[in-house]
A and B are shown apart, each in its own frame.
Chain A
């Protein structure tokens, strides 16, 4: 986004060379103004008391001196030089040092009505000469007049003042310095004294609003002659590094994409996706009801990423870092080790600490600062306490946009309290997230178990099955849901079913064995019977054989006897024949 804007601006500047811009150095502002304030022209910065006008303009001067080598004059009508210096020491600006180096000149203009008597005609040449001298003495390119309206309280001849101011702004343009003029906000006008009449090139309005007891600073470019600019109200933050403005809506949708994958930290979950993990730079939403283990999933994702030497940033909106570390150690995830090695950083804040926009700015800043490749927000739904659902939605859209631009893999956890919020999440974030893991309660048999499934995962095949999600003391596990004859079984019912089936198996084998043995016995009995019959048969056969042999023997013997008898008779007869 930032790249794109800068490029667009360069092209823009190339085509219209007449409008040159001066970078302010205030993070974000140069994106909204597409290159900074109009060069060589005055810009009006107005707003109510305490909205940050002085800081804004002082930062313009200091950043100019430090970053762009453009010396600047700060003409203060309200605060003395040493007061100003003391006020910004906390932001790390050393005004005294800068003044010694002749990069910044602070000129305090004291206007006190009680000391001044007016008689007759006069003009403000004294101021012009002072300012001119200050500009020339350090070769200033930037000028701030804060707050020039104080002149109106010190001098009573308004007619002279107005014509002199008109001349002053014209003179500033001729001098070719980029100027900021601050003005207090009036009743129905931008400034109390109608300065916007004189400064018409660029007008920036600062605002400080309190909604639901939470204050948010906002900035809007009311007008920027001859230039494109963001027209929305942009939240800005004043913290220990000065002002940062957040351009909340990106202008383009031309993000880079990666086809590299990054592990979820749970092997079984990786296996459910065809790319073996999430895409790098994608956004992952983990949603589920209370106590379903969303933070644990985030913790294990962080753990895996840190082990792959990825820089991680954990935004905690619910628990303190110490609490998360302790809780994660109970499931064998040692986050403290990653903190010690510098790979993991925690960023914990109460949602009610500041407004939603401020959270976004703070998240932006933290990310810009530590440049992580993996970010976890736990949980995003807690932010609803400081904004309506639709505001949170809008904020998330912008956040996801920003993260994808930066190629950061982000995991959100979201608590779905009831179907209404769930539907909202559906509408609001679903279209932006690339991967959505749902954890559901499965209640049956008087117990509650967790079921995890992948609702969507852009650009890859994923399993459509519900897995049982088990948190053990050695980590997170996904178990195939047991499909019994009566439907899906989880938890102890699954265990029972497995047990029951194992018992059945044993009984079954036992029964089979008994039948086998029975058969064997029957076979043996039959074989025995067969044997005895055979013996019977043999004896009967022998009996029969015996008669037969006797008969044979008898027959043979009778034959012999008859032969003998014949022979005997034949012998007698033979002798007779002889």
Chain B
């Protein structure tokens, strides 16, 4: 992989421990272990505990995965069940294809 120089800062916004948020977190961890091993960090933010944080990242839907670094900022909403879409959204898939 040629993206070792980059690190991924990921934030997952959830609202409580719903089945959707747990599914999203599990999916995310699996993808990261598979494709970004060692260069990623995941921060889970529960909006029920920190509602004031929703405004900053323009969160509407939950669960929302926000890729802060590297640029550009991307958001992926939903339970992240579609691996293909998540990887494209995180700019991982296209790079693997090259």
Contacts and interface: CB of A to CB of B under 8 A. Distances in A.
Given A117-B88, A120-B82, A126-B13, A133 B54 contact: yes
B51 A122 contact: no
Contacts of A120: 20, 23-24, 78-82
B44 to A, nearest CB: 14
Given A116-B77, A117-B85, A133-B51, A126 B20 contact: no
A119 B20 contact: no
A107 B62 contact: no
B51 A117 contact: no
B55 interface: yes
Interface stretch (B3-11, B33-41, B68-76): B68-76
A117 B92 CA distance: 14
A130 B63 CA distance: 14
Contacts of B60: 109, 111, 124, 126-127, 130, 151, 154-155
A126 B78 CA distance: 12
Chain A contact patch, size range: 20 to 34
A115 interface: yes
Contacts, number: 99
Contact of A130 (B51, B73, B82): B51
Contact of B54 (A110, A122, A126): A126
A248 to B, nearest CB: 42
Nearest to A111: B60
B48 A129 contact: yes
Contact of B61 (A125, A132, A133): A125
A133 B62 contact: no
Nearest to B15: A125
B54 A117 contact: no
Contact of A129 (B54, B72, B85): B54
Contacts of B79: 119-122
A238 to B, nearest CB: 30
Interface in B1-59: 13, 15, 20, 23-24, 47-48, 51-52, 54-55, 58-59
Nearest to A164: B61
Given A119-B80, A120-B82, A126 B89 contact: no
A18 interface: no
Contacts of B74: 115-117
B98 to A, nearest CB: 20
A83 interface: no
A85 B15 CA distance: 32
B72 to A, nearest CB: 8
Given A111-B60, A132-B51, A155-B61, A126 B81 contact: no
Nearest to B89: A117
A123 B61 contact: yes
Contacts of B73: 115
B82 A119 contact: yes
14 contacts: A110-B58, A116-B76, A117-B74, A117-B76, A119-B80, A120-B80, A122-B63, A123-B20, A125-B15, A126-B61, A129-B48, A130-B55, A130-B60, A155-B77
Interface of B: 13, 15, 20, 23-24, 47-48, 51-52, 54-55, 58-64, 72-82, 85-86, 88-89
Given A125-B61, A127-B59, A151-B60, 10 more contacts: A118-B78, A120-B24, A122-B78, A126-B59, A126-B60, A126-B62, A127-B60, A127-B61, A129-B62, A133-B52
